[in-house]
Chain A
């Protein structure tokens, strides 16, 4: 019983860690990699500053 509760808690933690990592990576993708023109123009100076490959 105790074991299974601990196990369930562990799994929900794993899920939230994975979700946070995924959300973080997608934010980085939007800020640094996405090609849409409007995005690129807004992000242009920042991409150079953080040294994401640009142009």
Chain B
């Protein structure tokens, strides 16, 4: 049933990706645009901070920070949304294939997937790819101060891989030591510590940043649960043979 699980996982990934993209455009993109309005004046200030330019920004500053974001958005709004949708689909197709590969491997060890166990797989994927990395590197808006990109990407990949392996050890490990190994794998990235910026001063108001982080995790947990449930449901064998 391996191929059935894998093709189902790809379909589930695209479906969950569509859901995630819609939720992102609805709940997160407006916050990104608002944050860019805070980020924008600082950028042009650094670029060619003439008095005239500065004055122009002050003009639309107080009442229309969100408006400034919309002006920026209107120029390329459609292609920008299209990019977000397309790349969310790519990301979730990837998540689905890796999740499906895990479920197919587990199936060969006797753990037949279903929609119910799929939800658990999905939540575990959420924990590995979103929740655990967010402990060290909270989901952040443009304009937030952060550490070196390559270092953060390395830590992110290490954290996701280590958490996924640790959860698998907890779920499927036999013997007394495997669960301990699982717990250790989950804790190690956080003991090493994520790369942090020298200070957390940023241009984005804390309330906006907090709303972004919580909404990002909320969208993710829902999308991952749907991804897992669909992957499990689609992996079910074709209608069982009725005994003659």
List chain A positions with a Cβ less than 8 A from chain B: 10, 13, 16-18, 20-21, 23-33, 41-55
Q: Which of B125-147 contact A (CB under 8 A)?
A: 130, 133-134, 137-142, 146
Contact of B42 with A by CB under 8 A: no
Nearest residue (CB) in B for A39 is B87
Q: Which residues of A contact B9 (CB under 8 A)?
A: 20
Contact A44/B216 with A20-B97, A28-B94 known, Cβ cut-off 8 Å: no
Measured between beta carbons, the chain B residues less than 8 angstroms from A50 are 20, 88, 91, 130, 216, 220
Contact of A20 among B86, B95, B101, B133 (CB under 8 A): B101
Is the Cβ of A48 less than 8 Å from the Cβ of B139?
yes
* Bound-complex Cα distance A49 to B217 (A): 9
Q: Are the CB atoms of A53 and B101 closer together than 8 Å?
A: no
Instruction: With CB as the reference atom, state the residue of chain A lying closest to B90.
Output: A31
**In the complex, what residues of A have CB within 8 A of residue B96's CB?**
24
Interface size counted on chain B using CB atoms at 8 A: 50
- Once the chains bind, are B83 and A44 in contact (CB under 8 Å)? yes
C-alpha gap A26/B101 in the complex (Å): 14
Q: Which of A21, A29, A41, A44 has the most CB of B within 10 A?
A: A21
B93 at interface (Cβ–Cβ under 8 A)? Answer: yes
Report the minimal beta-carbon distance from A23 to chain B, rounded to whole angstroms.
6
B233 at the interface (CB under 8 A from A): no
Please state if A45 and B149 are interface contacts (CB–CB under 8 Å): no
CB-based nearest A residue for B82: A42
Contacts of A25 in B (CB 8 A): 94, 98
Question: Quick one: which of A10, A13, A20, A28 contacts B91, CB cutoff 8 A?
Answer: A28
A45 engages B2 (CB within 8 Å): no
